[in-house]
Amino acid sequence: MVNPIYIIILSLAAGFLLSIFDKSGRKLSLIVFYSVLTFNVFVIADWFYRFTVLGVSTLTINTAGFSAPLSINLQLGIQEAFVLLFANLTGLLAAIYLIKKFKESNISSLVLYLILIMGVNGLVMTRDLFNMFVFLEILSISTFALTILTKNKKSLSAGFKYMIAGGVASTFFLLGVVFVYYFTGNLNLDFINPSDFTNYGLIAIFLLSIAVFIELKPFPANGWALDVYESVNSGITSVIAVVNSAAIIFVFYKIMPLLPQNLLNIFGIAGVVTFFFSNLMGLKQTNAKRLLGYSSIGQMGLLVASIIYTIHSPNKLIYLIVGGFFTNHLIAKAGLFWITGIVKKEKIKDWGILKENKFLLILFGLLLFALSGIPPFPGFWAKWEFIKLLVHGKMFFVVGGILLGSLFEIVFLFRWFTIAVKGEVPSENPKISFEFSKYFSTTIFVGITLTISVVIMKYFYDFNWFQFLPLIAVVVLYFLDFIPSKIKGFLSLIAVGIYGYFLYPFESNLQLFFGIIFIVGSAINIIATLNRKNINKGFYGFLLMMIFSFGNLLIAKSYLEFFLAWEFMTISSFVLILRGKKAQKASLLYIIFSTAGAYLMMIGFSLAPNLTSNSALIIAISNINLPILVTVLLAIGFMIKSGSLGVHIWLPEAHAEAESDVSPFISAILLKAGVFGLFMVGISYINHVPAFDMFYWIGWIGVLTAIVGAFLASFQEDAKRLLAYSSMSQVGYIVASIAILSHLGWLSALYLSFNHMMFKSALFIAIAGVYYRTHTRTMYEMGGLIKKMPLSFISVLIGIIAVSGVPPLSGFGAKWLIYSSFIERGWYLQAGVLFFASAVSFLYLYRLIHTIFLGQLKYEHQNVKEAPIWFLIPQVIFMVGIMAISMYPNLIIQPLNSIVGNYFNSSIIVDGYNITSSLGNWNGNMIMFVTMGIFVVPLIILVLLNGRTQTVKQFNIVYAAERPESPQTTHIAYNMFAHYRKALGGWGKPRIWNFWHETNEWAHSLSGLFRQIYTGNGQTYILHIILYIVVIYFIMGV
């Protein structure tokens, strides 16, 4: 209804009249100023509503009464409305953000701001080339002037550099426009036909497009933009970074149809190069705003590449990808600049200050997650679709550049986030001043991101509410955070129960089995978390998110649903790990490795042929013939998550540094997600065995993980780190037995994973109980706790017997199954190495139980009480579980046999309790009773024949006719297997750790090398621009 031309007219008129209004007081001028801005937003919003919902066709407005070629015509279509809506909205919110600044500064800044908004609107709507030049100039001049809103030396020189570079670019733009006119004789975009640009004509369109591309700050020629981002006032920088760039990117979008294909490709490649290198250089940044500058340049490059590469795809896809990247960049960037404005801290390492202000930290976190493409934010969907598109287009080089670039981005963004959450608060001025206006605009923007993501989730993908569950859990529990922790614990327990109930009718019993591990296992582990005393905000929210994402993993129907659940699981476990006291490095390491794995899986999934049946992925994948590259990628992704050799360095850090009642979740259940994935890959692999026998190598990796994990575990001083390496070694067993691809192999894999979940959670919870009482994790500080904590001792004793595989308990069943499957399959050397690993596992198991429970009790632990009841209940449940399985193995062998039955024909005969395989037979029940009988005989002998027994205290030992000086000196715990380490000699060196450390160093030095380009000298920047143009010209090969 309102003709969009009024936007330009009104802002222009207001611009001039403001100085008059100002005469009668600044308040009046401000009111006028803000009313104009809100008017613009409403007009555009109304049109946008008409276009999208009512489906009105694009509107063309002719000026000065003449039709198009003679006069300038403006056009407002769905794309323009979308861009303008966001541009004006950001403009309004940035203005609100700058309200304090506008009050003080003279009226000219308000005028300039209005002119800027008018320039943006005009630039987007105009179809006429020269008019575009005019609006571009208006826009640039007002931005140049606004840069010195806060007058300091840095912003002035940055402004000057920006102006020169902008000037050069606009000169070329002008030349381009003129030559286009010369060759086509026409200035209006609609009437120029691209065929005119034959041989000579190419120079015109080249000049035009290169000028616009320079404005978009391509990689080598964007020094001037970085200085502006770093020094200018945050409000203005957000406007420059978002509103200007949005307008210019749209200009590029408008002139794109004219460009020849080879020029387009060059710009696409240049975009990806910009994204990759700016993120690489971001690694080395310590200044917050400059880091955001690098990231925004990168995002612009990505946006350009996305526009170019989605040119031939259907509209819906374009809107999703380009729209997703656009909103993601726009909102996240503006929000983050505003937050840097609020926090006012130059150096990243001082951002520990954010810990004080929880609300701001949440905003900051959400915006960072949006920027780095974590679901449910738009960036995630856009990246998924874009990678899928590129992979189908066989452009692997581009895919590689983008994924590697976004990995660098994840590194420096999450490093920033972990510093903010875990960094120490800087001493001077620790307080963040609260300004309503700044908070208001940031919260609005975060709200908009969330609404967009929900819209995308609803509109583009018809997800059922299961996929939303993890999100709902976090939000609901965020609002319930004031309730004391125990009630929240019970609530979450009930929630998991209900979720399990809804999840129950699984399609395949393999899902049921993993369902039990995930849901029932986490339910029991939640009991252990009930021991928490204080409110501990946000813990149960993310815990539920993780558990629900486990469940969603099982019932995922499409690749995207699986990947969505996978990413939810990663991000929630990352936040849970981050809660640990010294967990900053550990969580960063974890998120980097998981995202790298996730990206590999993303490529894998996009390469995989699409699913036929709509049943759960685990079933549907069995009749899909995954090409070999996909299986390799997926397998690597899943193995990263299950901590196999070579990518295992995140595992000990994450387990040890996470809070003591979180580590059981991570080690017992999170690793099983990787195992579930490997099963999925295995299922598709067995139906269509391709040439290259990949699973043979996965088998070797599993075996080596087992042996290396066992050795590393036995040389640890910290109890939780020891258990972490032990889980790595146990999962190594599982991975190796999956790789056998035989009935017995998979049976042992499932049996061991169920076993591992039980005894590993029991062990971790027991150590949590010990840590809760003795407040220390290093083992040599403990000792002799059997007298004070007998129940924990029993649970650890049963745990280590189960882990080591000593006959009566269920561990032996796992070992028997594994060795028979290995020998049956013919992997003899692997069986030998596995046997060696299980023998070495005795070392660390004995070390765990001896240093903590046996030996000498220290003075300070004299009055330690038994672990709290909440830790004991889950341990008792798990102990009962282990005893039940070892007493009646059929309880689990029977169902597992049927599960594996529908993939392989069964190779074992189960009659009663006697299980006979091709090699030998095992009767768990009989062994258990015989062992009990055997155990009773010497007990009776001892009780009968033993004289009067006198139980004595800990110092009544034969100490070579002396008395022991102190418990510390007589307790053998520190560096227990020093001779073994000496025997291993060279083999003991941490090679893999060094390798990853080297790559990290190498990446940082490379980033240091590339950022030398920005020497800070304005002239060199102009030189870069001109050289860039010349280089692109030659590449284009006119």
Partner 1 sequence: MDIMIKILYAVISVIVATVYGLTLGGVVQKIYARVHGRFGPPVWQPFIDIIKTHGKRVSISHGIMFYLGPVFRFAGGLGTYLFIPVIYGSVVFANFSMAGDLLLVMYFIFFGQLGMALGAGEGGHPYSPLGIARGLSQMSTFELPFSLAVIAVAIQYDSLNITTIVAAQQGSILNWTLFTNPFAVIAAMISLLGMNMHSPFSLVLAPQEIPIGPPVEMNSSFLAILQTNRGLFTAAKLVLFMNLFFGGATNLLIMIVKTFFIYLVSVIVGAAFPRFRPEQSFRFFLKWPTIIGIISIIFIVYF
Partner 2 sequence: MIVALILGFALLLIGIYGMLSQKNLIKIVIGFSIADTGTHIIIVSIGYLRNRTAPILNSAVDISKAVQQVVDPIPSALVLTAIVIGLAVTALMLSFVVELYKKRQSLSIDDYQELKW
Partner 3 sequence: MDKKNIKKIEKEMKLANEGLPEKERSLFSDVRPTSVTPLNKYLEKFLNWARAESLWFLGFGTGCGAIELRPLMTSRYDVFRYGIAPRPTPRQSSVFIIGGYASMKTVKRIVRSYEQMQGPKFVIALGSCTINGGMYYDSYNTINRIDHYIPVDVYIAGCMPRPESLIAGFNKLKEKIKAGECDGMNKYAENFDWYKKNQKRVIKDWNMPDFNW
Tokens standing for residue 734: 């599982």
Tokens standing for residue 753: 């994973």
- Is residue 967 involved in binding partner 3 (CB under 8 A)? yes
Looking at 171-179, 337-345, 675-683, 942-950, which segment touches partner 3 (CB under 8 A)?
942-950
The one of partner 1, partner 3, partner 2, none whose footprint includes residue 157, by CB under 5 to 8 A per kind, is partner 2
The one of partner 2, partner 1, partner 3, none whose footprint includes residue 797, by CB under 5 to 8 A per kind, is partner 1
CB of 225 to partner 2, least distance (A): 11
* Residue with token string 């091709």: 918
Return d(Cα 418, Cα 372) in angstroms, integer: 14
Is the Cβ–Cβ distance between 981 and 988 less than 8 Å? yes
Return d(Cα 324, Cα 378) in angstroms, integer: 5
The one of partner 3, partner 2, partner 1, none whose footprint includes residue 153, by CB under 5 to 8 A per kind, is partner 2
Comparing CB distances to partner 3, the nearer of 691 and 958 is 958
Tokens standing for residue 506: 């699984």
The one of partner 3, partner 1, partner 2, none whose footprint includes residue 859, by CB under 5 to 8 A per kind, is partner 3
CB of 563 to partner 1, least distance (A): 41
CA terminus-to-terminus distance, the chain: 48
Number of residues that bind partner 3 (CB under 8 A): 16
**Which residues in the 113-142 window bind partner 2 by CB under 8 A?**
130, 133-134, 137, 140-141
- Is residue 280 involved in binding partner 2 (CB under 8 A)? no
The amino acid sitting at 227 is D
Tokens standing for residue 188: 């209006």
The one of partner 2, partner 3, partner 1, none whose footprint includes residue 187, by CB under 5 to 8 A per kind, is partner 2
Return d(Cα 117, Cα 115) in angstroms, integer: 5
3-state secondary structure of 923: strand
CB of 957 to partner 3, least distance (A): 9
- Is residue 167 involved in binding partner 2 (CB under 8 A)? yes
- Is residue 940 involved in binding partner 3 (CB under 8 A)? no
- Listing DSSP states for 399-439 in one string gives HHHHHHHHHHHHHHHHHHHHHHHHSPPPSS--PPPP-HHHH
- Is residue 1012 involved in binding partner 2 (CB under 8 A)? yes
- Is residue 192 involved in binding partner 2 (CB under 8 A)? no
CB of 850 to partner 3, least distance (A): 19
**Which residues in the 944-963 window bind partner 3 by CB under 8 A?**
947-948, 950-956, 958, 961-963
The one of partner 2, partner 3, partner 1, none whose footprint includes residue 1011, by CB under 5 to 8 A per kind, is partner 2
Return d(Cα 762, Cα 774) in angstroms, integer: 18
**Which residues in the 443-482 window bind partner 3 by CB under 8 A?**
none
Phi-psi region of 313 (alpha: psi -120 to 50; beta: other; left: phi over 0): beta
- Is residue 232 involved in binding partner 2 (CB under 8 A)? no
Comparing CB distances to partner 2, the nearer of 341 and 1018 is 1018
Comparing CB distances to partner 3, the nearer of 64 and 952 is 952
3-state secondary structure of 60: strand
Task: Write the DSSP symbol of residue 1012.
Answer: G
CB of 915 to partner 1, least distance (A): 10
Comparing CB distances to partner 3, the nearer of 53 and 958 is 958
Comparing CB distances to partner 2, the nearer of 158 and 266 is 158
Among the listed residues 226, 583, 798, 882, the single contact to partner 2 using CB under 8 A: 226
x/- mask, partner 3, residues 851-880, rule CB under 8 A, reads --------x--x------------------
Phi-psi region of 624 (alpha: psi -120 to 50; beta: other; left: phi over 0): beta
- Is residue 404 involved in binding partner 2 (CB under 8 A)? no
CB of 72 to partner 2, least distance (A): 12
CB of 490 to partner 1, least distance (A): 36
Tokens standing for residue 193: 């036909």
* Strands 921-923 and 914-916, bridge-based pairing: antiparallel
Is the Cβ–Cβ distance between 602 and 562 less than 8 Å? no
Is the Cβ–Cβ distance between 209 and 249 less than 8 Å? no
CB of 712 to partner 1, least distance (A): 14
CB of 960 to partner 3, least distance (A): 9
Comparing CB distances to partner 3, the nearer of 11 and 856 is 856
CB of 843 to partner 1, least distance (A): 5
Q: How far is CA 46 from the centre of its chain?
A: 37
Task: Write the DSSP symbol of residue 487.
Answer: H
CB of 968 to partner 3, least distance (A): 12
The one of partner 1, partner 3, partner 2, none whose footprint includes residue 171, by CB under 5 to 8 A per kind, is partner 2
Is the Cβ–Cβ distance between 399 and 598 less than 8 Å? no
Looking at 71-79, 587-595, 778-786, 1015-1023, which segment touches partner 2 (CB under 8 A)?
1015-1023
The one of partner 1, partner 2, partner 3, none whose footprint includes residue 151, by CB under 5 to 8 A per kind, is partner 2
Helix (H) or strand (E) holding 61: strand 59-62
Return d(Cα 177, Cα 561) in angstroms, integer: 48
Is the Cβ–Cβ distance between 1006 and 280 less than 8 Å? yes
The one of partner 3, partner 2, partner 1, none whose footprint includes residue 983, by CB under 5 to 8 A per kind, is partner 1
Return d(Cα 12, Cα 31) in angstroms, integer: 16
3-state secondary structure of 718: strand
Comparing CB distances to partner 2, the nearer of 229 and 733 is 229
Task: Write the DSSP symbol of residue 244.
Answer: I
Tokens standing for residue 965: 């000086």
Number of residues that bind partner 2 (CB under 8 A): 48
Comparing CB distances to partner 3, the nearer of 948 and 982 is 948
Among the listed residues 368, 371, 1011, 1028, the single contact to partner 2 using CB under 8 A: 1011
Q: Which residue from 379, 665, 678 is spatially nearest to 550, judged by alpha carbons?
A: 665
Return d(Cα 158, Cα 71) in angstroms, integer: 38
Return d(Cα 335, Cα 1011) in angstroms, integer: 26
Is the Cβ–Cβ distance between 609 and 688 less than 8 Å? no
Looking at 164-172, 455-463, 833-841, 933-941, which segment touches partner 2 (CB under 8 A)?
164-172
Looking at 147-155, 426-434, 803-811, 919-927, which segment touches partner 2 (CB under 8 A)?
147-155
Return d(Cα 947, Cα 445) in angstroms, integer: 81
Positive or negative, the CA dihedral 897, 900, 902, 906 is: negative
Comparing CB distances to partner 2, the nearer of 733 and 1021 is 1021
Is the Cβ–Cβ distance between 620 and 587 less than 8 Å? no
- Is residue 533 involved in binding partner 3 (CB under 8 A)? no
Is the Cβ–Cβ distance between 12 and 118 less than 8 Å? yes
Is the Cβ–Cβ distance between 658 and 579 less than 8 Å? yes
Tokens standing for residue 875: 């341990």
Among the listed residues 163, 205, 591, 796, the single contact to partner 2 using CB under 8 A: 163
The one of partner 3, partner 2, partner 1, none whose footprint includes residue 961, by CB under 5 to 8 A per kind, is partner 3
Return d(Cα 322, Cα 324) in angstroms, integer: 5
CB of 886 to partner 3, least distance (A): 35
CB of 782 to partner 3, least distance (A): 17
**Site residues, partner 3 (CB under 8 A):** 859, 862, 947-948, 950-956, 958, 961-963, 967
Q: Where do contacts with partner 2 occur on this chain (CB under 8 A)?
A: 130, 133-134, 137, 140-141, 144-145, 148, 151, 153-154, 156-161, 163-164, 167-168, 170-171, 174-175, 177-179, 181-182, 187, 226-227, 230-231, 284, 1011-1012, 1014-1019, 1022-1023, 1026
